[in-house]
Every structure is written in C-alpha cells, then in structure tokens.
Amino acid sequence: MKNKYLILLIVVIGAFVGNLEAVLPNTAVNVIANSLGASVNNSIWILTIYTLLFATFMPLASKIGAIIGNRNLYIWSLILFSVFSFLCGITNSLVLLIIFRGLQGIAISACLPCAMVIISHHFQAQERGKAMGILGMVVASSTAIGAPLGGILTDYLGWHSIFYIVAPLSILAFLSTLFVIPKEDKSTGKTSFDFYGAIFFSSFMIFLMLLISAASKSGVFSVSNGIFAVLTIVSFIAFIVVEKRVKSPFIPLQLFQNVSFNSISISRALQMAMLYGSLFLIPLYWSEIYNHSPKETGLALFLLPITIMIVSPIVGNYIDRLGSKLFMVLGMIFTSLGALGLVIFSGDIWSVSMTIDLVILGIGFAMMQSSAMAAVTLVLPKEQLNVGVGIFNMLTFAGGTIGLSLFSSLVEYTGFRGEFIIMLFAGLLGLLVSLKAKVSVKTESHS
C-alpha cells in the first residue's frame, strides 16, 4: 500500500501524545500544588489517575475498536483527548483537574492498541518489525523529552501550557486520519459486547492498582489495603463467573491458553517494571549517594531513553529478517546484564561504568519493546487481535506501574544494591519466560 508509511506516521502521533502527557506534568506537580493551594500528596493524583486509567481501559478500548472499527475509535479517542486536555488547561480546581486527567487517560487509552492493530492491517508480517520499531522509537522519544519539556513550559508559559500543547497534535492526527486511513470493513461492527464482563474486569484492574499503590504508601496491613484487597478479589471472581456464562465474553479466557501470548506479555511486563524502576532508582541513587541536583540527574539519565530512541528503529529492521523471538531473548539478556552492571559497577554520573550500564539497559529495552510489539500481533488469531493487543498493552503499563510502586516502597528496606538485585532477578525471569514464546511470520493468520 502506497500510503502505509503515512498511515504509520499518523497512528504513532496518538501513541506519542498519550505517553507524552503521562510524563509532562511530572516536573510541575509542586508548582501546580502551590498554584491551587493543595498539598503535594493530593496533587500526586494528577499523575497517578492518568496512568491508572490509561492502563486499565486499554482492553475495553480494544473491544470497542473491534465493534466500531479501529479507525473510528482512533478518531474519537483523539477528539475526546483534545477536549479533556483543553479542560485540564483552563481549570483552577485540583478536584476538577484530577477528574479531567482521569478522563484524559481513558480517552487516550485507545490510541496505542489502535495504532498496533492498524499497523498490523497495513504492514505484512515480514515488515512489521520495522513499523513497530518506529512506533517504539516514538514512544521512547516522548518519555525522553516529556520531563524536560514539562519543566521548560512550566517555567516560561505556566503549568496550564503542559495540557494545551498536546491538543494541536491530537487535532492534526484526527484530521489526517479522516483523509488518509481507509475505512474498515463494516463486518468489524457485528461483534456483541459483554457489558458486565467489561465492568467487572475494569473494576478488578482499578482495585488491584489501588491495592498496590495503597500498600506502598500506607503499609500492607492498613485498613485501606484490606478494603481494596476484598474489592479486588470480589470483582475478579465476578468477572470469571460472568465470562464463563456469556457466549461472547469481554475477554475470551482461552486467550490465556496461548502460551506464546502469555510469554510475550509477561516478559514485556517484567521489562517495563525494570524500565520504570530504572527511571526512578538511578536518579535517586545519584541524588542520595553523590548529592547531585535533580537537574544534573535528569540530564544524565537522558542517555537511557536516547539510547532506546536510536536503537529501536535499527532493531526493527533486523526483526523482520531474523525474527521477533531472537530479539526478545537478546533484549532480556541485555537488560539483565545492565541490571548486573548496576549491582556490581554502579557509580557516579558520567562515570564509565554507569554510562555503559545505561547504554546496555537502553539497548535491551529497545530490543524487547520493538520485538514484543511485533511478536504479539503475530501469535494472535484474527478474532482475538483487538482484545489481545489491549490486554498486552494493559499488562505492559500495569507492569511498569506495579514495578514502580514496589521499587519505591522497598528502597528504604533493601537499599539500592538490593533494589538492583531485584531488577536483575526480574530480567532473568523475563529471559526464561521469553524462551517459551513461539513466534514466526507463519503463525500469523490475518496478514
């Protein structure tokens, strides 16, 4: 198809703005709290609610995409995201800002799954690695520029600007979609919708994420943790009961009988936990051990996402020639080696050992990210592609969020070396799990 790379450019914009808006406010939380007369602890929900709902609603968004078409869902996702971004920008109430941030996360949750499915429709299996490599590069670039860009915008234009900036990009992608991405077959809209399954599953994921967050902040045996634990168990049981009774379940339970899908999803979630852990632990390590300022640590850590940006499209080209599984395994080997380097050779900013560790980690993250996104579209049958991609992405970001919560809550008990050892075990576990995946272009049934 002549326009396939233009289509790729358009769909990666949605993934870019969604991930960018997740990290833009990170450096502005204190400023927002002071501006709105709120505490920093309460203002943290500006960050948490977006990530929580962004990850949780991916399977639901993917199911809706199977019903109304991924192109249509992508358009509506961008429209609603632009509206809620504008509302975030004009509000001067913390409560309303948190609400609009949650709606932002729900709206944009469709973009990454839609991007992956649309890419799989327009790129043959033999060239999908390159496309996913480009998608991975764009996602990494948003992480790389998000925090410094948020700080610059806040300093010069005020914190409201960090919400306005994404709206023009979203509108551009929406208008481009109308004219470039072809409409899908009407048959995609004939799928029934399991409403109760969707409600119980989304509730289960929300309560689970809140349970983990509460455990890291108020202790494992707190009252709030007990409440969230009960709600998590009840909603999960209700979900399983409903899914076994309906003809067209929200999430087909046989999806989890697909060993390759499980292997790819779990290893990717473990890798994402390592990535989020690295982004949290390494700057904290430099700050507490070597007394560096946030500006210095942020600049030095920039090397990690920059490496991911550079390596992702390169790896994508070789994935198409040598296969996804090879680079999944290599990715987990490199991330494990990087974690081992942190255990043995961690050092000061710009030291040779730390620079090598960051580059090795970046290469590993790039390999795993690009290959896993390509592989998951190859091991899923056509009828499970939408919901499977949604579950994969949800597990990816849930893995990152859970990893961040665990690393942040354990650091005072284990110390930095203990945390780096945990990262190493996560990498080795991901390596073992990734070996179980069976991926080849021949597994694809929907090219």
pLDDT in tens, 287-326: 888 988 767 877 788 888 889 888 988 888 888 788 889 9
Q: In terms of domains, do 314 and 178 share one?
A: no
Full pLDDT tens readout for the chain, 447 residues:
458 888 888 988 888 888 888 888 877 777 888 888 888 667 778 877 888 888 888 888 888 888 888 899 999 999 999 999 999 999 999 999 999 999 999 999 888 888 888 888 888 877 888 888 888 788 777 877 776 788 788 888 888 999 998 888 899 888 989 888 888 765 444 456 788 888 888 888 888 877 876 766 666 667 778 888 899 999 999 989 988 888 878 888 888 889 999 999 999 999 989 988 887 788 888 888 898 876 787 778 888 888 988 898 888 888 878 888 999 999 999 999 999 999 998 889 889 999 999 999 999 999 998 899 889 988 988 878 888 888 898 888 888 877 877 787 777 788 899 999 999 999 999 999 999 998 865 444 444
Q: In terms of domains, do 173 and 211 share one?
A: no
Residue from 96, 79, 72, 90 nearest 17 by CA: 79
Contacts of 51 (CB under 8 A, 6+ apart): 22, 105, 397, 401
End-to-end CA distance of the chain: 13
Q: In terms of domains, do 177 and 231 share one?
A: no
The domain spanning residue 55 has which CATH number?
1.20.1250.20
Q: In terms of domains, do 235 and 286 share one?
A: no
Q: In terms of domains, do 234 and 354 share one?
A: no
Q: In terms of domains, do 261 and 274 share one?
A: yes
Residue from 80, 90, 98, 77 nearest 10 by CA: 77
Q: Which of 147, 170, 192 is the endpoint of a domain?
A: 192
Contacts of 34 (CB under 8 A, 6+ apart): none
Length of the chain: 447
Q: In terms of domains, do 167 and 201 share one?
A: no
Q: In terms of domains, do 234 and 173 share one?
A: no
Residue from 132, 97, 170, 208 nearest 366 by CA: 132
Q: Are 354 and 296 in contact (CB under 8 A)?
A: no
Q: Which of 249, 267, 293 is the endpoint of a domain?
A: 249
Supply 299's token pair: 């600049």
Q: In terms of domains, do 45 and 117 share one?
A: yes
Q: In terms of domains, do 73 and 218 share one?
A: no
Q: In terms of domains, do 124 and 269 share one?
A: no
For the chain, what is the domain count? Answer: 3
Q: In terms of domains, do 242 and 370 share one?
A: no
Q: Which of 166, 192, 218 is the endpoint of a domain?
A: 192
Q: What is the domain range of residue 211?
A: 194-249
